């Protein structure tokens, strides 16, 4: 589980223990969104290739939905074979 209530993140590792971590020095959260939009627009203009495939996106969505399901039920969710 990841909580984004402050610049310092907390996440549960594989054994359920909570770990606290901070972003690297100089990290500005908004910059990652700006970089993502610049890349997207460059792809739309045909200036570059996407950094991930449609299949990458499908797998990321399946993983995110499994995380939500696990959080909702409190149970492990087994992903289909081939999800990395």
CA triple 60-14-12, angle to 5 deg: 80
Per the document, the length of the chain is: 84
pLDDT (tens place) for every residue of the chain, 84 residues total = 444 455 555 566 667 677 777 778 888 888 989 999 999 999 999 999 999 999 999 999 999 999 999 989 989 999 887 665
Return the structure tokens found at 25. Answer: 């020095």
What is the structure's pLDDT at 21?
Answer: 73
Q: Where are the domains of the chain?
A: 2-73
Query: In angstroms, rounded to a whole number, what is the distance separating the alpha carbons of residues 84 and 59?
Result: 8
- Find the helix or strand (DSSP H, E) in which 62 lies: helix 54-73
What is the structure's pLDDT at 3?
Answer: 46
Residue with tokens 């969505």: 61
What is the structure's pLDDT at 47?
Answer: 98
């Amino acid at each position: 589980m990841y909580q984004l209530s402050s610049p310092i993140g907390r996440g549960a590792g594989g054994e359920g223990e909570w770990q606290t971590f901070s972003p690297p020095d100089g990290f500005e959260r908004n910059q990652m969104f700006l970089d993502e939009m610049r890349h997207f627009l460059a792809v739309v203009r045909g200036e570059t290739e996407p950094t991930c495939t449609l299949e990458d996106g499908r797998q990321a969505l399946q993983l995110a939905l499994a995380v939500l399901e696990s959080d909702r039920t409190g149970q492990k969710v087994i992903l289909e074979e081939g999800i990395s």
